[in-house]
Amino acid sequence: MKFQMVHENYNVLNLKRSLTFYEEALGLKELRRKEAEDGSFIIVYVGNETTDFELELTWIRDWERPYNLGDCEFHLAFKTDDFEAAHKKHEEMGCICFENKEMGIYFIQDPDGYWLEVVPADM
């Protein structure tokens, strides 16, 4: 029996803001969406051409408070072919929330507080 990871879900408060962030910060574009007939939720899958793995962004109409993310010990990691350019872009965006120069990695934070690790291609 084999398993393949296909997506990870993050719940978001403002879908438009999150879609803008993920496209600007990581080049992820909307692939498809599912909308509840009653308008109670929208699910948008984002991804890019480098992998089949997708990030599922879920907006829930009646959710009004920030999501409790605990201590942000979980995260999704992204490998980049141009670490220096990525770091510069994320620094300009003001979304770097933690950096470990000794390990050669850093984390960015999305508008809802999710941490995303950025690692160089050779890691």
The catalytic residues are: 117
56, 7 Cβ separation under 8 angstroms: yes
CA distance linking residue 94 with residue 88, whole number of Å: 10
Q: From its phi and psi, is residue 37 left (phi > 0), alpha (psi between -120 and 50) or beta?
A: alpha
CA distance linking residue 11 with residue 63, whole number of Å: 10
Contacts 24+ apart (CB under 8 A), 45-51: 45/7, 46/19, 46/22
User: Which H/E stretch holds residue 91?
Assistant: helix 83-93
